[in-house]
Amino acid sequence: MLLIPCPYCGERPEIEFSYGGQAHLVRPPRPAELSDEEWARYLYVRENPRGRHAERWRHLRGCGRFFNAIRDTTTDRIAATYRVGEAPP
Amino acid sequence: MVEKGWIGGGNTGRNTTIIRSNYLFDESIAIYEHALKLWEGLSQDLNYNVMYSPRGVMMLAHNVHDAQMMKRIMHANRANGVDNEWLTPEQAKAFCPPLEIGSHLRYPVVGATLQRRGGTARHDAVAWGYARAADALGVDILENCEVTGIRRGASGAVEGLETTRGPIRTPKVGVVAAGNSSVVMRMAGVTLPLESFPLQALVSEPVKPVFPCVVMSNAIHAYISQSDKGELVIGAGTDAYTSYTQRGALHVDMHTLEAICELFPCFRRLKMLRNWGGIVDVTVDRSPIIGLTPVPGLYVNCGWGTGGFKATPGSAHVFAWTVAKGEPHPIAAPFSLERFRDGAMIDEAAAAGVSH
């Protein structure tokens, strides 16, 4: 089980959190102007990297807030967590 | 055939060996039933005993919603000529005596579907049988040879592979890399609608034959069978986060073991021998991707998620056909990469059997 440092509450066990997938995905402002290809890319295509991954978590059974984390998917070590709106470290 | 590790050392050797074709949609039933029919003659075809054992796959319903959904799947199966039947709790108990069906259960058993032709096979034997049969047909199997690049020509078409043991020239490459599909396909500049998660399984200490079939419960998440070595083979769920570590968190296993102990009280004092994780590549609709890619000469067979073993012979057959002819096999056609663009999903989340 991961120990996840919530930027608001500190280190808590993983079962208090829900996972939100790849971070920094921006919804296109005018979806109707996109091609089907571009819209599918936004909806479904993910980096799924082997290594450094910026991802969203939510402290669901704690403060309830969303935040982002940098985790290495080959070790599961969390290098940093940061608040929504902040740039990845 | 270029393999980073050794044959059968990846998810082939890490899965719970369950075989069934009781999916919901016609497209899925077609490919999984194609595979099941091939399983039935596979030991003869490969001249190698893969220990296919059609001992029956029973899926439990714990509430009215489960029962409605599972009956819908059962009728979809039967409309497609696939065997599936509904059992009362008493009939389920008769088919699988260790099952607890008392009303005191937190999630009581209200019924079950049974696919009698479903069952298990010996995963290592499947890998070895296929390897030997392929070798006899002249296939070169290169182990401990990691692909490090996919070489493309000026037109964009595939020209060959870079590997840790040197380059290979070829006009066609079929990528079947399971959890690492995103990583390998990115070498050719292709991104995929995939996320890779750890999926765990565990086995108990070996005991005498005690469990006659495969039992699955989607609602409380447990599936269990007994191997010919006597170990109870138990499948847990995926972890919450994407990872390539081939291990998962203990609380995921505990969640499954709690359900197993509730459904099968006779196993409460059994010791677990070992647990492990495999990396599964999951699509949003829980169906695989088989077919052509935007890169000429590059083919992909991935996205099998939490349940690819059962499809092995069918998946291999339609993929080989697709690569050889350069066009999708009719059974594989609905599973194209374009279905995400076109919105033609094959949403098997309910029938996939593993919670995500």
| Per-residue pLDDT reduced to its tens digit, B34-79 | 999 999 999 999 999 999 999 999 999 999 999 999 999 999 999 9
Show residues of chain A in contact with B250, CB under 8 Å: 1
CB atoms within 10 A of CB A20: 18
Q: Rounded mean pLDDT of B86-106?
A: 96
Residue with tokens 């968190």: B249
H/E segment holding residue B124: helix B123-136
Which of B182, B249, B251 faces A48 most closely, judged by CB atoms? B182
Cβ–Cβ contact B6 with A under 8 A: no
Q: What is the pTM of this model?
A: 0.95
Longest dimension (CA), chain B: 68
Residue with tokens 């296109």: A28
Distance in angstroms (rounded) separating the CA atoms of residues B155 and B108: 61
Which residue(s) pair with A67 in the sheet? A57, A83
CA A4 to chain centre: 13
First to last CA, chain B: 31
> How confident is the model over A28-58, as pLDDT tens digits?
999 999 999 999 999 999 999 999 999 999 9
Confidence at residue B355, expressed as pLDDT on a 0 to 100 scale:
55
Total length of chain B: 356
Closest by Cα among B32, B83, B33 to B58 = B83
* E strand map for B18-122: 18-19, 57-61, 85-87, 111-115, 119-120
Whether B351 has a pLDDT exceeding 90, the answer reads no
Q: Rounded mean pLDDT of A4-33?
A: 97
Show residues of chain B in contact with A3, CB under 8 Å: none
pLDDT confidence band for B349 (50 / 70 / 90): confident
Q: Which of A4, A17, A44 to mutate to test the interface with B (most CBs of B within 10 A)?
A: A44
Cβ–Cβ contact A59 with B under 8 A: no
CA distance B162 to chain A (A): 19
Chain B, 209 to 248: residues with Cβ < 8 Å from chain A are: 240-245
Closest by Cα among B171, B243, B48 to A1 = B243
Distance in angstroms (rounded) separating the CA atoms of residues B227 and B208: 10
Confidence at residue B352, expressed as pLDDT on a 0 to 100 scale:
67
Phi, psi of A33 (to 5 degrees): -90, -5
Contacts of B99 (CB under 8 A, 6+ apart): B92, B93, B109, B215, B263, B264
> How confident is the model over B20-38, as pLDDT tens digits?
999 999 999 999 999 999 9
Distance in angstroms (rounded) separating the CA atoms of residues B277 and B200: 4
A49 neighbors A72 (Cβ within 8 angstroms):
no
Measured over the CA atoms of residue B188, residue B193, residue B198 and residue B204, the dihedral's sign is negative
Distance in angstroms (rounded) separating the CA atoms of residues B290 and B331: 10
Show residues of chain A in contact with B342, CB under 8 Å: 36
Distance in angstroms (rounded) separating the CA atoms of residues B323 and A66: 44
> How confident is the model over B205-246, as pLDDT tens digits?
999 999 999 999 999 889 999 999 999 999 999 999 999 999
Whether B144 has a pLDDT exceeding 90, the answer reads yes
Distance in angstroms (rounded) separating the CA atoms of residues B99 and B211: 9
A35 neighbors A44 (Cβ within 8 angstroms):
no
> How confident is the model over B240-296, as pLDDT tens digits?
999 999 999 999 999 999 999 999 999 999 999 999 999 999 999 999 999 999 999
Find the residue in B nearest to A42 (Cα).
Answer: B193
Which residue(s) pair with B235 in the sheet? B201, B223
CB atoms within 10 A of CB B224: 25
Show residues of chain B in contact with A76, CB under 8 Å: 241, 243, 245
CA distance B123 to chain A (A): 26
Average pLDDT, chain B: 96
Cβ–Cβ contact A47 with B under 8 A: yes
> How confident is the model over B173-210, as pLDDT tens digits?
999 999 999 999 999 999 999 999 999 999 999 999 99
Which of A19, A53, A76 faces B245 most closely, judged by CB atoms? A76
B250/A48 CB distance under 8 A:
no
ipTM of the complex, rounded to two decimals: 0.96
